A and B are shown apart, each in its own frame.
Chain A
Amino acid sequence: MKHVATLLSILTTLGLILFLDGRISIPGNPLPPLAHFLHPVAGVWNNTTSLMPGDEELTMNGVQKASIVYDERWVPHIYASSMEDALFLQGYTEASNRLFQMDFMTRAAEGRLSEVMGPLTLAFDKSRNRSLIETTAQNAVIAWSKHPESMKLLQRYVDGVNAYISQLKPADYPVEYKLLDFKPELWTVKKSALVYSSMADVLCGRSDDLESTNSLAVLGRKLFDEFYPEQNDGGYPVIPYERKYDFKNEHASEAPDSISQGPFYQYYYENRTKGIGSNNWAVSPSKSLTGNAILCNDPHLSLTLPSIWIEEHIVTPEVNAYGVSFPGFPGIMIGFNDYIAWGETNVSQDVEDLFHVVWTGNDKTTYKSGTGVKEAKKVVKTIKIKNMPDVLDTIIYIDKGVVRFESNDGKTDLAVRWLPVDVKNEAEFMTFIDVMKSHNKAEFKKALRHFNTPAQNFIFASESGEIALFVNGLFPIRQNEDGRFVEPASNPEGDWQHYIPRDQNPYIENPISGYVTSSNQRSAGKDYPYYYTGKFEHARNMSINQKLRDTAKWDVAKMKKMQADNFNYFASKSLPVLLDILKTKHAQHPLIKQWSSWDYNYTASSMAATSYEALFKKIYELTFDEILMHQDTMDILYPEDWRMVDLISRDTNSMIFDLISTPEKKEDRRAIVLSAFDKISTGEQAAKNNIPWGSHKPLNINHYTRLPALSVRGLSVDGTTDAINAVGESYGPSWRMIIDMAGGEKTKAYGVYPGGQSGNPLSPYYKNMVATWSDHKYNELNHSSNPEKITKTKTIKINQ
């Protein structure tokens, strides 16, 4: 008995030690090694921070005398003697504040999340292996390496990140590393390229080819054109109609690509996120109360903790630039310097095409091409999974791209071609570095010539009062409807062969209207000689253009108000018509009274917004029943809201209003509207109408791991995707910026994003700006080139 007790005691002790040390893993156990995680000196307790951090003096090889001053919001102001040193210190500060985010983003891009997250993310990793993000990054590194200036600067940034990582002790690892029990890897140029290509994936890594093909197949051409007109006649293009084009499309006579026969009875896509987009606008001194050009930008992207942006100020003898950057990629993407201000919105043109591959054998080694067959290339990638055996993932490539979606029958698949893979500009990396250095429009334009993808609407304002907008990037030359549908991979001549010459991209400089603006709508008017397709915005651009046109003079206060504007243009167009119909039968109904006094603003407290959304959704469901009836069997193209508004307000007797389920009668707009009202004003839905908009559609700002404790969830905020303040359920204005471009120290700059500068959930700077953002307040951006004028929280002196 004594032996048994001793043996049991020793084995229990050893077992406990091994378990708490993480040497014994229990499948499905989500806990980190607890003795490490809760270690009072090296564990999570060591990640707590003080409100009064001490100053530091550091010695760094290869860097001249420099300093990093953290201000009262933990914005690093980097004072260096050269751009090389500044980028080194940018890398250092980004790593010291956002290391886990940088690491996680690049692992996600490479399909390596399962290494640290376990089998939960295996499907995600497999999808990433078929995304072309890594191929794009690899191609970018090859191209950039041919440009010595790019590589020199990139390498300095990489060295800065690694200078931070190399001195890190396990006790100092960010909380998430301790929680997930892994170590940071050294940074590389490829990782920076992955950050870049990940953003390209977010902004242009999606097309509607499959959904369009399915919808065309089930609706037929006539109804398809009724449901999905390509042009909205009422919209303002990014580049206004006053811009005339004195060139021709030299390839206009080429034949359009053929279309694959759908439908494809299988689900491939998750629901598409609505709301990724952005606004920017600038007014010239003629429309400004201050006499300066004023530039505004608010990119609507995923709202995450930490934010996808980090605020930074870089000062060298040749540059004094302030703005936001993507952690992991050097330079400032949206910002200003002493002479100019700049920003971007996404162009939204479709640069991803799908191909239907017909295999000629069961092993998917050959596929139909022309009159013969071609060989596919197979690449086997090993996916490492935490606490599990590795998984081998076979990825198949055809001549046009990667096989992304495999069908259940194994005989045909869908492959993808993506423009960012195609052509890399060797100096593309230099775009934002050269923009930061620009003194005027000519230098700014020159910098933009390097930039290929993801195509952006670059907005510009200068201290001299110039404003401009450039639809900038690499665009394929397409014939009518090319890129709209799935194409047969068997056509060797199919898909784009040429690119629009750079100087034929649409742009406008100093327009007579006194303003420029973009919000992801169509790039140019119908007279632009090149066909393009994509997913374009139709409501915000109307609100913005009308406000800019109708307001004689602007100042910063008015710009702030405009960025916070919750007016839904679609609601303002459709609801008066709907009310005219509804009042004929339900004049005294409380909902009618509620809507009659509504100003179409989606404030958090608005009940009318909630009930109107329910009505609109129901009318949409009844109207587009012909296509929605297929949504349970295949990926369909959902008609856009602007088409619904168009039908409500203009096309009373459209055949689309007729319900499929009642062949014996013919419904019109009135019948559909009254039926929709009956459905939402009774029963369960009636109770749901009495919820304020902010509670009905709360905002979630999730941490990358989706852990609620590290996220901010259930925020009741103003806004909707079709308002200028385009807040969705987990996305929205990710950085609001307003620059009154007086020049030099006189420039007044304001900005805010929903998050905080630090990626450490135990830092007071982790989410300190969320409330500022949700209250529509701004921080004044201190861009002084004199470090003594910065309110200091902490100073790091380097080699002093």
Chain B
Amino acid sequence: MSDKIYSLLATVITLCGTFFLPWWSIPTLIFVAAMFYKGSKLKAAGIATGIATMIWVSIAGIKDGLASEKAASLVAGIFGNIAPSLIFTLTGLIIGTVTGMAATSGKLVAGYFSKD
């Protein structure tokens, strides 16, 4: 599976997993997709992390941008008066870290089936 196809698949998986499926379907399906990806472990994790993070942060950002009262500010207050921007970072980190770890795991497992 090429970079392009893998990236496209990661985007579709993240969008479907965000809007229609339980959130944990994203790392689960990324794990499977990464098994068929030809690139390195680092690249598999990087692409998955980047795409998932970008999608979650973007949706959160758009929703908060359109809102009259900002969720980021409220949650920042709940979490101990941290900077609201950190809440976006945390939102991205949650999905990015797990998805990146799932992609790495997928690549590692794929190694057992590889002819090399």
Contact = CB atoms under 8 A, between A and B. Distances in A.
Interface of A: 2, 5-6, 9-10, 12-13, 16-17, 20-21, 34-42, 44-51, 175, 179, 707-710, 761-764, 766
Interface centre among A13, A41, A710, A762 (most CB of B within 10 A): A13
B59 interface: yes
B69 A50 contact: no
Closest 7 CB pairs of A and B: A709-B77, A48-B67, A40-B59, A6-B108, A13-B101, A40-B60, A9-B105
Contact of B71 (A10, A34, A35, A44): A44
Contacts of B19: 41
Contacts of A48: 63-64, 66-71
A40 B68 contact: no
B23 A35 contact: yes
B69 A763 contact: yes
B50 interface: no
B5 interface: no
A250 B75 CA distance: 63
B1 interface: no
A762 B69 contact: yes
A41 B18 contact: yes
A708 B81 CA distance: 10
Interface of B: 18-19, 23-24, 27, 31, 55-57, 59-60, 63-64, 66-71, 74-78, 81, 87, 90-91, 94-95, 97-98, 101-102, 104-105, 108-109, 111-112
Contacts, number: 114
A646 B27 CA distance: 74
A493 B86 CA distance: 67
B91 A38 contact: yes
B66 A36 contact: no
A6 B107 CA distance: 9
A41 B95 CA distance: 13
Nearest to B45: A9
10 contacts: A9-B104, A9-B108, A12-B101, A34-B94, A47-B71, A48-B68, A48-B69, A50-B68, A710-B78, A762-B71
A10 B68 contact: no
Contacts of B63: 40, 45-46, 48
Nearest to B104: A9
B90 A34 contact: yes
* A interface majority secondary structure: helix
Nearest to A42: B23
Contacts of A13: 27, 31, 98, 101-102, 104-105
Contact of B97 (A16, A21, A37, A49): A16
A701 to B, nearest CB: 15
A766 B108 CA distance: 50
Contacts of B67: 48-50, 762
Contacts of A12: 101
B69 A35 contact: no
Contacts of B24: 17, 21, 35
A44 B94 CA distance: 14
Contacts of B31: 13
B69 A17 contact: no
Most interface-central of A2, A9, A20, A36 (chain B CB within 10 A)? A9
A39 B27 contact: no
Contact of A764 (B68, B75, B91): B68
B66 A50 contact: yes
B83 to A, nearest CB: 14
A45 B60 contact: yes
Nearest to B23: A35
B98 A17 contact: yes
B11 to A, nearest CB: 15
Contacts of A2: 108, 111
Nearest to A46: B63
B71 A45 contact: yes
A17 B63 CA distance: 25
Contacts of A179: 78
A86 B71 CA distance: 34
Contacts of A6: 105, 108-109, 111-112
A10 B112 CA distance: 14
Contacts of B95: 35
A45 B69 CA distance: 11
Nearest to A7: B108
Given A5-B108, A41-B59, A45-B59, A766 B94 contact: no
Given A9-B104, A13-B105, A49 B18 contact: no
Nearest to B66: A50
A761 B67 CA distance: 12
